[in-house]
Amino acid sequence: MEKFTVHTGTAAPLRRSNVDTDQIIPAEYLKRVSRTGFADGLFKAWRDDPTFVLNQPAHATATILVTGTEFGVGSSREHAVWALQDQGFRAIVAPRFGDIFRGNALKGGLLPVELPSEAVEWLWDALDADPALAVTVDLEAREVRAGERSWSFPLDDFSRWRLLEGLDDIGLTLRHEADITAFEGARPSRLPRTQAA
């Protein structure tokens, strides 16, 4: 996984709440068996609309998405994270995220940044006024900065450390393999197994 420390880029204001996973990428686009190539399905239903924010030249290469509350509710499809990354996004700013989406984003190194609604609305207005506004997402300081403003955002220490170091989750867990084996040894034998019916 690519490390995330401090990222400065341009941002796209997506003035919608409740952008669910079917909006981020419809099911039709989930058929690939690779981890890349999902950008063509990103926000599919809106991509033909010339007024859609990512169709505006000023926002087409944004690396930070600033959006409304409950972003990523719905399905567990990690393809939603991959599609956003394929499009070039490194961080998503919203007041609140769907739980599974948030977890998937953290796994893949797409930073979910929770800021209060007032901050999101300030950013929307500021980005409308100046689409080239530089926005900084600083994971070390757990802070977003834009213009004269700054806001801190919450993230637990462990997730922050993993992202800063770009560490592989499975490798981290396998440090505890002895604990897993001990736990397995104590599981009751009546628990079901898929193979012997």
Partner 1 sequence: MSDQPRTLAEKLWDAHLVRAGGDEPDLLYIDLHLVHEVTSPQAFDGLRAAGRPVRRTDLTIATEDHNTPTDNLFSIVDPVSQTQLETLRKNCAEFGVRLHPLGDDEQGVVHVVGPQLGLTQPGMTVVCGDSHTSTHGAFGALAFGIGTSEVEHVLATQTLTQRPPKTMAVTVDGVLPEGVSAKDLILAVIAKAGTGGGIGHVVEYRGEAIRALSMEGRMTVCNMSIEWGAKAGLIAPDETTFAYLEGRPHAPKGEAWDEAVAYWRTLPTDEDAVFDAEIVIDAAELTPFVTWGTNPGQGVPLGAVVPDPSVYTDPVQRGAAERALEYMALTPGTAMRDVDVDVVFVGSCTNGRIEDLRNAAEVLRGRKVADGVTMMVVPGSARVRAQAESEGLHEIFREAGADWRFAGCSMCLGMNPDKLAPGARSASTSNRNFEGRQGPGGRTHLVSPQVAAATAVAGHFAAPADLV
Query: Which residues contact partner 1 by CB under 8 A?
Result: 16-18, 20, 22-23, 26-28, 30-35, 44-45, 68-70, 73-79, 81, 96, 98-100, 103-104, 107-108, 117, 156-158, 169-170, 172-174, 176-177, 179-180, 183-184, 187-197
- CB of 56 vs partner 1, minimal distance in Å: 19
Nearest residue (CB) to partner 1, 8 versus 46: 46
Nearest residue (CB) to partner 1, 10 versus 89: 89
Please give the angle made by the CA atoms of 137, 143 and 149, to the nearest 5 degrees. 90
Nearest residue (CB) to partner 1, 18 versus 63: 18
DSSP single-letter state for residue 9: E
Nearest residue (CB) to partner 1, 76 versus 150: 76
| Contact status, residue 110 vs residue 85, Cβ threshold 8 Å | yes
The gap from C-alpha 35 to its chain's centroid, in whole angstroms, comes to 15
| Contact status, residue 144 vs residue 113, Cβ threshold 8 Å | yes
| Contact status, residue 73 vs residue 23, Cβ threshold 8 Å | no
C-alpha to C-alpha distance for 112 and 106, rounded to whole angstroms: 7
Nearest residue (CB) to partner 1, 100 versus 133: 100
- CB of 99 vs partner 1, minimal distance in Å: 6
| Residues contacting residue 45 through CB under 8 Å, at least 6 positions apart | 23, 26
- CB of 19 vs partner 1, minimal distance in Å: 10
| Contact status, residue 47 vs residue 100, Cβ threshold 8 Å | no
- CB of 14 vs partner 1, minimal distance in Å: 13
- CB of 139 vs partner 1, minimal distance in Å: 17
- CB of 110 vs partner 1, minimal distance in Å: 11
C-alpha to C-alpha distance for 81 and 76, rounded to whole angstroms: 10
Nearest residue (CB) to partner 1, 10 versus 65: 65
